[in-house]
Amino acid sequence: MIYSTGNSHLVSAILTRSTGMSTKAFAQRHLFEPLGIRPPAWDRDPQGFYLGGNNMALSPRDLLKIGGLYLAGGSMDGLRILPEAWIRESWRPYSRSRWNGYGYGYFWWHRRSGRYDVHFAWGYGGQFVFVVPELELVVVVTSRIGNRSAGRMHRREIHSLLDRYILPVVSADRRPDASLPAGA
């Protein structure tokens, strides 16, 4: 498994060529508009293709809408935006990273946290959209890492925040007689 943002960018170029519309126009029509998202800016490469793997500058609220769409199986407010089968297939791990041990599907990472499956989109510098279907939970984290060497520790801290505090509180809240976990 070799993750590369270049692969995501290649998908953007293929989408542009196969649809006859820019990735931005396609996303606007089929994803952003139905979700009420107005992306502020989206960088292009020297050939004019919108970057497929970074620099979209979506707000945390917009990232939450995308996570909510996936949690809802691809429908929002009665409107089918993505096929439910696509959601399942994109979350299914097809490979595993030897660097972090996470499974990887179609642009989504996968790992376990206790007894829960956690699917997450992971953006440059510490942007995350976590989706935990069993808890009907979407968590968005936006942050910025100053340098690459701090990235691994930063990622661990974000995952630890989810594992040690958020998931136990949410899962305890769903049990009728549960109290908060120790340390929460």
Phi, psi of 3 (to 5 degrees): -80, 140
Q: What is the pLDDT of residues 93-152, one digit of tens each?
A: 999 998 889 999 999 999 999 999 999 999 887 899 999 999 999 999 998 776 666 667
Superfamily of domain 60-184: DD-peptidase/beta-lactamase superfamily (3.40.710.10)
* pLDDT score for 177: 52
- Other residues' Cβ atoms within 10 Å of the Cβ of residue 3: 16
pTM of the model: 0.89
Distance between CA atoms of 161 and 23, rounded to whole angstroms? 34
* pLDDT score for 124: 80
* pLDDT score for 175: 62
* pLDDT score for 148: 60
| Residue 182 pLDDT greater than 60, yes or no | no
> What rounded mean pLDDT belongs to the chain?
89
Q: What is the pLDDT of residues 10-68, one digit of tens each?
A: 999 999 999 999 999 999 999 999 999 998 789 999 999 999 888 888 999 999 999 99
Domain with CATH 3.40.710.10 in the chain: 60-184
Cα–Cα distances in Å, from 168 out to 53, 140, 151, 154? Answer: 32, 17, 25, 21
* pLDDT score for 53: 80
